[in-house]
């Protein structure tokens, strides 16, 4: 603006001087030449000012204008949910691939906390039958993934960010993603191998061609036959106080609890009401792992009534001396887990109730 004013003033001054020169014919030539030089210097000064000052101001202003332009991502439309559900709805951005058309499809996080032989495998199969639900199984059964709390959190981030690939991964837009996390599992421990002569001290449990399945009343432990040697039976004795298979849940419960609260993870407790049947199932599964009744293969979960009948033919003998103590220990573990994660968003299910389709439909509605 100042440049324009200066330029206009210079033009006005030149016109004025020219007009006076034409009127005053008697003015000396030296005076007229001096005035022309003054006007020329003034015009040059205005030109320099215009070129170096005003044009520089215009360039800075235009540059600042373009620098202020920012491109932002288009936000996803707000889902039609209640306000209290907002912390449990997420829009993950995987590193290994792009969700593309599923980017604005909300995802819910869940974790199934269960115990051994409580129907968790069957329950997880039901969830994975839904095209938009992915339950990735016992990812922390691998020791290196549960080395410490930091490793556990790192693997959980990878899972809930949809960067975890397994057979449960879906081609459709994922609406819920989670895992199955077992509480402390018991694995029967081998005490010893010995050759036992048949006598009145041995109680027959069942019969097989290669050897009788026996159990010593003095040991009160499950005995699995190996081979027949000169009228005696080589058996393996298992202790009911076996090793605990730890998946890191109860050992790092403080960090995991805080993670569940911060990430809005819904906890699904899946237990079994009849703990005695659960114990029988553990013994039966251990027996089948050694004998492989189903065509020479071991199956922890059967897929037909015929397979169930074959496995049910084995009738284990239970140690009544330690029965009550073991049942109370299982109940204590379940109660402790409920107490730790009680303030998270959770639901408690029982294997016997899941047999009712209404329960499954209700859970699917919650997750999806």
Cα distance between residue 10 and residue 43, in whole Å: 6
**Does a structural domain hold residue 47?**
yes
Nearest to 344 by CA among 53, 129, 88: 88
Answer whether residue 79 is part of any domain. no
Q: What is the SS3 assignment for 297?
A: strand
Pair 113, 39 in one domain: no
Residues 208 and 348 in one domain: no
Q: What is the pTM of this model?
A: 0.67
What is residue 267's three-state secondary structure?
strand
Residues spanned by the domain of 232? 193-240
- pLDDT single digits (tens) 3-45: 555 555 655 555 565 555 555 544 455 667 777 777 777 777 7
Whether residue 164 is found in the same domain as residue 252: yes
Mean pLDDT value across residues 79-106: 89
Q: In whole numbers, what is the pLDDT of the chain averaged over residues?
A: 75
The burial of 70, by beta-carbon neighbours within 10 Å (0-12 exposed, 13-18 middle, 19 or more buried), is given as: exposed
Residue 77 in any domain: the answer is no
Same domain, 93 and 234: no
| 360 and 230 belong to one structural domain | no
Q: Residue 270 sits in a domain of what CATH number?
A: 3.40.50
The answer to whether residue 335 scores a pLDDT higher than 60 is yes
Number of domains present in the structure of the chain: 3
pLDDT at 139 over 90: yes
Q: Is residue 35 part of a domain?
A: yes
Q: 93 and 178 in one domain? A: yes
Kindly report the number of other CB atoms within 10 A of residue 38's CB atom: 12
| Domain membership flag for residue 82 | no
Residue 169 lies in a domain: yes
The answer on 348 and 210 residing in a single domain is: no
Whether residue 329 sits in one domain with residue 223: no
The whole-number pLDDT of residue 254 equals 96
Q: Are 275 and 327 in contact (CB under 8 A)?
A: yes
Task: State whether 102 and 202 are in the same domain.
Answer: no
253 and 123 within one domain: yes
The answer to whether residues 201 and 219 touch, using CB atoms and an 8 Å cutoff, is no
Asked whether the CA dihedral 353, 355, 356, 360 is positive or negative, the reply is positive
């Amino acid at each position: 603006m100042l440049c324009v004013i200066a330029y206009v003033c210079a033009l006005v001054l030149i016109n004025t001087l020219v007009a006076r020169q034409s009127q005053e014919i008697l003015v000396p030539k030296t005076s007229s030449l001096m005035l022309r030089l003054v006007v020329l210097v003034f015009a040059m000064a205005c030109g320099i000012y215009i070129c170096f000052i005003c044009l520089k101001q215009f360039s800075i202003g235009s540059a600042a204008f373009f620098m202020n332009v920012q491109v932002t991502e288009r936000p996803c439309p707000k889902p039609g949910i209640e306000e209290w559900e907002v912390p449990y709805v997420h829009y993950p951005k995987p590193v290994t691939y792009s969700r593309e058309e599923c980017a604005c499809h909300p995802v819910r996080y869940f974790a199934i906390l269960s115990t051994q032989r409580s129907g968790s495998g069957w329950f997880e199969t039901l969830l994975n039958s839904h095209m938009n639900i992915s339950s990735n199984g016992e990812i922390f059964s691998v020791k290196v993934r549960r080395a410490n709390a930091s490793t556990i959190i790192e693997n959980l981030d990878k899972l809930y960010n949809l960067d975890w690939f397994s057979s449960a991964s879906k081609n459709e837009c994922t609406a819920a993603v989670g895992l199955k996390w077992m509480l402390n599992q018991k694995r029967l421990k081998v005490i010893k191998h010995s050759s036992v002569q048949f006598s009145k001290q041995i109680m027959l449990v069942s019969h097989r061609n290669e050897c009788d399945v026996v159990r010593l009343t003095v040991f009160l432990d499950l005995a699995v036959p190996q081979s027949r040697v000169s009228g005696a039976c080589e058996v393996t004795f298992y202790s009911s106080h076996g090793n605990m298979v730890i998946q890191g849940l109860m050992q790092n419960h403080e960090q995991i609890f805080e993670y569940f609260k911060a990430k809005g993870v819904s906890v699904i407790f899946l237990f079994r009401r009849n703990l005695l049947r659960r114990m029988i199932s553990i013994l039966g599964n251990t027996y089948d792992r050694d004998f492989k009744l189903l065509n020479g293969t071991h199956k922890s979960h059967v897929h037909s009534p015929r397979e169930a009948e074959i496995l049910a033919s084995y009738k284990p003998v239970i140690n009544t001396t330690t029965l009550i103590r073991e049942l109370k220990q299982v109940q204590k573990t379940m109660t402790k887990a409920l107490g730790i994660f009680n303030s998270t968003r959770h639901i408690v299910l029982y294997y016997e109730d899941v047999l009712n389709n209404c329960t499954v439909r209700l859970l699917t509605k919650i997750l999806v």
